[in-house]
Chain A
Amino acid sequence: MTSLSTKSIVFHKLIRNVNNYAKRMSSHFIYYPDKERPVDGETTKMNMMQAINNAMDITLKNDPTAVLFGEDVAFGGVFRCALGLQEKYGKDRVFNTPLCEQGIAGFGIGLATAGATAIAEIQFADYIFPAFDQIVNEAAKARYRSGGEYDSGALTVRAPCSAVGHGGLYHSQSPEAFFAHVPGLRVVVPRGPIAAKGLLLACIRERDPCVFLEPKILYRSAAEEVPVEDYTLPLGKAQTLRVGAAATLVGWGTQVHVLLEVADMARDKLGVTCDVIDLQSILPWDEETVCNSVKKTGRCLISHEAPLTSGFGAELAATVQEECFLHLEAPIARVTGWDAPFPHVFEPFYLPDKWRCYQALIQLINY
């Protein structure tokens, strides 16, 4: 026999709980699907996980030497990127390894040395560090040190990276900057399904070892009409997604979508347009596209989730100021994660969200 007021209190508490829950589960970004296709032909709606699965399916189908391995890959992987592949291609081609990242990387290098195409999955980019020695000292340097007699080109190391809403220190990291410092490696970060499929196929076929970092929050939330056929996207090339005059916004992975929204905000609230560039390849990176853009706009904003100090934004900023100094109207802005380990409950304060980016853009324009 609850009174009307009690019912109202209960109802409001319910609404608040739902709202808080929604806030916890909602992302810091809106996904902007690609409208353009890299190739003509039939497409199908795929999320990024499916697109990656598709790329690996195509590889396993056409390259009899190709194998896919890592922790829990046999049942499909913790993010289901390998779903159905062991069933389709057999246990000798898609298989679990013991829990050992240094072993996974070393094993992959050995496969590549012996002429097999190796796709090594590291379960989370946060756990890639035991494999760092193998990747940096061995895979990246095999061609150079052997005078070209041996190489690890047939190796691709894939790992889910970046913020997912609740990952904390060890399920949210974006370690691209560590690998960007390694001559001989390629480092690639897709922003969505179409990019992921094309870039991953390019990495697998590339004759250099590749580290392919997949922003995990995009696995499910990013869906596009992806071409069903086999296609690659060029490595070492950035993609300009928006053209404008006021500033150049540079990012990769999930952050591209934050920047696209910031560009929209700038257009709607400030009446200015921006170039938005998805770097796609962190190493080697497309200096020409970025510098040409900054020479045009005179203002540059770089944004990444990884911490500020020595993040990849530092390399971009150094190069841009070197190449575009006389064109700059303002100091180069970097909007990034703070210099702290990636926190759990503080994620909304940590991420370089659209408001921080927007504010930095205002300061750039008004400098």
Chain B
Amino acid sequence: MALKTGASFVKLNAFRRAARLLSTRTRPETAQNGGGKIAKFPGARAPYVSEMKFFNETSYEPIPIYRVMDNNGQIIDKNEEPNLDKATLINMYKTMVQLSHMDKILYESQRQGRISFYMTNYGEEGIHIGSASALSPKDLVFSQYREVGVFLYRGMTVTELVNQCYGNCEDPGKGRQMPVHYGSKHHNMVTISSPLGTQMPQAVGAAYAYKRVPNNDRCVICYFGDGAASEGDAHAAFNFAATLDCPVIMLCRNNGYAISTPTSEQYRGDGIASRGPALGLHTLRVDGTDTLAVHNAVKRARDFTVANNKPVLIEAMAYRVGHHSTSDDSSAYRSVEEIQKWTKDESPLQKFKLYLEHKGYWDAETEKAWSKEARDTVVRTMQEAEKKKKPNWKEMLEDVYYEMPPRLQKQMKQMEEHLKKYPEHYPLNQHESD
């Protein structure tokens, strides 16, 4: 039977071929994608071209840097001067000064062996205070580690920060983390962790949760550095924020270095800002040493994210004046002249102070008085923090789970027994006891 049908099949084909040869009608026209002009692929809608051309990081102008003041603290365009009252401006500046004193003394204290580790914020005070002053206290903050000014502006005291550095019994983190890993539920500052960039997709998720709350008026801000922006988590965060419409501000502190790695070895594109439009984010690049510019940028971003439930990427350009941390000596990889230049000419404190002085809100006397007070606050706080004991050693095994599981209870008992036998070999007197 198969042979029979095969034969008839063959015969039909031959007939068709003959018919086609005889006709003058050509194959029907295939429809052209987008009429041949603008192609509509599911992945992209773009014009067709017949000339090939590479696109690279120089095909587009670098994203310009928004600023409000020049290095003399003079407003360049009056329309851009933010409408901040005297009290706010003074508070902003005082916080920056407090921060720089805290940095100086805590850095020294590490050198003296009083705390184990510290990271300074020199050169980035403008980013901290400029951004913090534009946020609502209810906005959730995810940070990396060089945003202490944000914590201070939010209302965390030097005492609370120093307690964390000492890991004493009043540290809300219960002494479990290294210094500078601050957090405060009360101030809506998520506890810092060491892995870089991990906070970025988390900030996006938190923003999504906020978006779903009826009558939401909060946004989320996420700080990260130029180095952290190379992590996969950064790309994930940008992409998720854009595709899932999240009211989040992604603020990059581009300070030129990731420990010893300069940005020329961190990326080849136009900074971090260029990645924003590529992933569908509204993007701003701003002068991070200009406190007022940062303020304006974050304010604009905040209004936009909350109103539209869309993310904003801000790249704040700055310079990391200090070493990466107390474990770093940056003279090993950069010149003293370079550091001097940025310290002298581009200091955010200097710029802002000059601005305040122009406005008649500040002078040499108030500077001297506040400097002294800021310094004394830190010194006094350090002395008190040092006297406080570390938390009870049992805190080492608490909070691993919501409820301590049986195995951990057993381990707690084992350690208790051990300490009863060998107490003199453990620093029990430095810790609170039962």
Residues of A whose CB lies within 8 Å of any CB of B are 65, 67, 92-93, 95, 97-98, 100, 102-103, 105-116, 118, 130, 133-134, 137-138, 141-151, 153, 183-184, 186, 206-208, 236, 284, 287-288
Contacts and interface: CB of A to CB of B under 8 A. Distances in A.
A138 B172 contact: no
Contacts of A118: 205
A287 B405 CA distance: 11
A248 B333 CA distance: 62
Nearest to B279: A98
A355 to B, nearest CB: 34
Given A138-B202, A146-B190, A183-B408, 4 more contacts: A102-B236, A111-B205, A114-B140, A147-B174
Contacts of A109: 201-202, 205
A242 B172 CA distance: 48
Contacts, number: 163
B201 A110 contact: yes
Contacts of B142: 110
Given A97-B243, A113-B202, A149 B172 contact: yes
B176 interface: yes
Q: Across chains A and B, which 10 residue pairs bring their CB atoms closest together, nearest first?
A: A110-B205, A106-B201, A103-B236, A110-B202, A114-B209, A146-B191, A207-B402, A107-B205, A114-B206, A116-B209
B269 to A, nearest CB: 20
Contacts of A236: 405-406
Interface string B210-247: 10100000001000000000001101110110011000
Contacts of A145: 173, 176-177, 181, 191, 193
A148 B399 contact: yes
Contacts of A183: 400, 408
A65 B216 CA distance: 14
B209 A110 contact: yes
Contact of A106 (B176, B198, B212, B402): B198
Interface string B166-187: 0000011110110001011100
Given A103-B233, A110-B207, A97 B198 contact: no
B42 interface: no
Given A102-B232, A144-B176, A149 B205 contact: no
B200 A153 contact: no
Contacts of B177: 145
Interface string B365-405: 00000000000000000000000000000000011111101
Given A103-B236, A147-B172, A149-B172, A134 B209 contact: no
B68 interface: no
Nearest to B218: A114
B204 interface: yes
B185 A103 contact: no
B203 interface: yes
Nearest to A64: B212
A268 B220 CA distance: 64
Q: Which of B198, B202, B244 has most A Cβ within 10 Å?
A: B202
Contacts of B232: 100, 102, 130
B405 A108 contact: no
A150 B400 CA distance: 12
Given A116-B209, A137-B195, A150 B174 contact: no
5 contacts: A110-B203, A138-B202, A147-B173, A284-B401, A287-B406
Given A208-B401, A288-B406, A95 B244 contact: yes
Contact of B212 (A65, A102, A142, A143): A65
Nearest to A153: B402
B208 interface: yes
Nearest to B210: A114
Contacts of B206: 110-111, 113-114
A150 B235 CA distance: 25
B407 interface: yes
B223 to A, nearest CB: 15
Contacts of B183: 146-147, 149-150
Nearest to A209: B401
Q: Which of A111, A146, A186, A288 has most B Cβ within 10 Å?
A: A146
Given A97-B243, A106-B236, A147 B176 contact: yes
Contacts of B207: 110, 114
B402 A100 contact: no
Nearest to A140: B400
Contacts of B140: 113-114
A97 B244 contact: yes
Contacts of B405: 236, 284
A93 B202 CA distance: 17
B401 A107 contact: no
A134 B237 CA distance: 13
Nearest to A143: B399
B398 to A, nearest CB: 8
A148 B206 CA distance: 18
A158 B315 CA distance: 35
A340 B176 CA distance: 39
A284 B406 contact: yes
A133 B198 contact: yes
A155 to B, nearest CB: 9
A151 to B, nearest CB: 7
Contacts of B233: 102-103, 106, 133-134
A174 B413 CA distance: 33
Interface in B25-69: none
A100 B193 CA distance: 22
A128 B193 CA distance: 21
Nearest to A284: B405
A206 B244 CA distance: 27
B193 A103 contact: no
A287 B408 CA distance: 12
B262 to A, nearest CB: 26
